[in-house]
Amino acid sequence: MTNTDGSRYENCLYRVEQLQKGEKKAAEASAMNMMQLMSAAGKAVFKQLQRRFPAPARIAVCCGEGNNGGDGYIVARLAQEAGYQVQVFALKPNAELSDPLESDAHRARSAWREQGGNEKALLDCAPDQFDLVVDALFGVGLNRALEGDPVTWVQHVNASSTPVISVDVPSGLNADNGHVPGAAVRAHLTVSLVALKRGLLTGKAQNHTGELVLEDLGIGETFKQQNDADWFRVDAGGLGNWLPARARCTHKGEQGHVLIVGGQPGMSGAVILAMKSALRAGAGKVSVACHPDVQAIVAAAQPEAMVHSIKDEDTLKPLLRDASAIALGPGLGQSRWSHDVFSQVMKADALKVIDADGLNLLASYPARSSKLLLTPHPGEAARLLQTTADEVEADRFLAVTQLREKYGAQVLLKGAGSLLVTDRGRCLIDRGSPAMASGGMGDLLTGLISGLLAQRMAPAQALIAGALWHAMAGEEAGKDGERGTLASDLLPYIRRLVNGYGRDDD
């Protein structure tokens, strides 16, 4: 994997199984036993709590029966010692501990009781009566929907305006894939312990984790040495000089030629956005191959682009031959014209970024090629895999891997916490803004990636950099308000990012 950035521990993402099997070994190699590790976890969560809520705040600590609950009891004890007003609510309140030493969680619970602490029933917790709720109910081992009292408790917590700190993972969330199978806590802060779990950063999980903080408990580097991460979080600093400064004597022919294919009647806006994005990405020349009925509309939108009316195979062939990179799909539609154009483009030898109706047609006419770059959202991914969008969202990591295997392509699965499987490895981009939930954003991304390809950026790099800079541009445009942001609002920021401005401001 490239330095995007796998060298930094906070960018290494792990599977739950790796944590379950590896944290004890890492602790032992760091001269710690598991009770010491649990104590370190409680202290780390309490440290984050103290930074945000000074004593004597009222704190409800909600504890389960496992190690996550044990962490919670340590937080409760530390908070009480520091002058906070603490009440513990337990899944099994005042349960008899036949042997307090039989587990680390029991030791932590016993220490809480020895300090004079008591426990109330989970459903006795009224979040609005507290300044903070600590969610220590279920940890990373949960892989099913919550049932019974925890469901009611989650509903009460989520309905309240009281902030929530979740220990390691918001209860109800699958930390391995980000799936939310039922009720799940909506935390304001999640303190991930030892290492980042990959599922906390993608899909619906982003509605639940809130601010995400990593506390490695002093064993992070040892854990990293003992366990290979197979997913990595991308940050702007890891892109280095993937798009270096231009030579003073360069000319447009050296900066590549993008051909954008699409633009059916009624869909000219999509191809226009892709066209403008490719130009702002720095492509030397941008051509558009569109339906004859929209040629005048597209040509009037950008005088710097060359816009061609595609009537038959003979008018498209020379354009395909001259292209450095092809963007296929914006506004393409699914008419007879669309099918014919798709078929011709797929025969071309150039690198192809496929999105929108290009992906829908690919689902009907599957092709496998290393020269394809696919950028589906979950619905398009579902059609490509002949499944449902819900199934894709239930395990985005599996879906993007299956797309790579089926089509032999480099793949970007879009959405909150976009996932990429490329020649440079597997990575995740958790940048972007809710402001980007408007039409045309995907067309903009297609143009940006194709513009980077045309400038001889390697396909994997173009996909990664394009996705990251697109997300960062969305963040900047969204600063004026999450509602009403248009895809075209991102264009000035895309230009700045491809020129190196703001790449390290993450």
Tell me the binding residues.
Answer: 67-71, 135, 139-145, 168, 171, 270, 331, 377, 414-418, 442-443
CA distance 470 to 282: 14
| Residues of each annotated binding site for AMP | 414-418, 442
Dihedral (CA of 154, 389, 331, 275) sign? positive
Largest distance between two CA atoms of the chain: 86
Q: Is 98 helix (H, G, I), strand (E, B) or coil?
A: coil
Report how far apart the first and last C-alpha atoms of the chain are (Å, whole number). Answer: 20
Cβ-based neighbours of 213, under 8 Å, separated by 6 or more = 48, 189, 190, 191, 192
Dihedral (CA of 366, 369, 371, 373) sign? positive
| Residues of each annotated binding site for (6S)-NADPHX | 67-71, 139-145, 168, 270, 331, 377, 443
- Rg over alpha carbons for the chain, rounded to the nearest Å, is 26
CB atoms within 10 A of CB 221: 12
CA distance 75 to 39: 9
| Residues of each annotated binding site for K(+) | 68, 135, 171
* Residue among 254, 164, 231 at smallest CA distance from 417: 231
Cβ-contact 135, 168 below 8 angstroms: no
CA distance 493 to 502: 9
CB atoms within 10 A of CB 284: 18
CA distance 315 to 291: 11
DSSP string over 152-190: HHHHHHHHS-S-EEEESS-TT--TTT----S-----SEE
Counting Cα atoms < 13 Å in the Cβ hemisphere of 135 gives 33
CA distance 48 to 46: 5
Cβ-contact 178, 205 below 8 angstroms: yes
* Cα-based angle 415, 260, 343 (whole degrees, multiple of 5): 95
Provide the residue count of the chain: 506
Q: How far is CA 336 from CA 104, 290, 291, 311, 343, in A?
A: 67, 14, 11, 12, 11
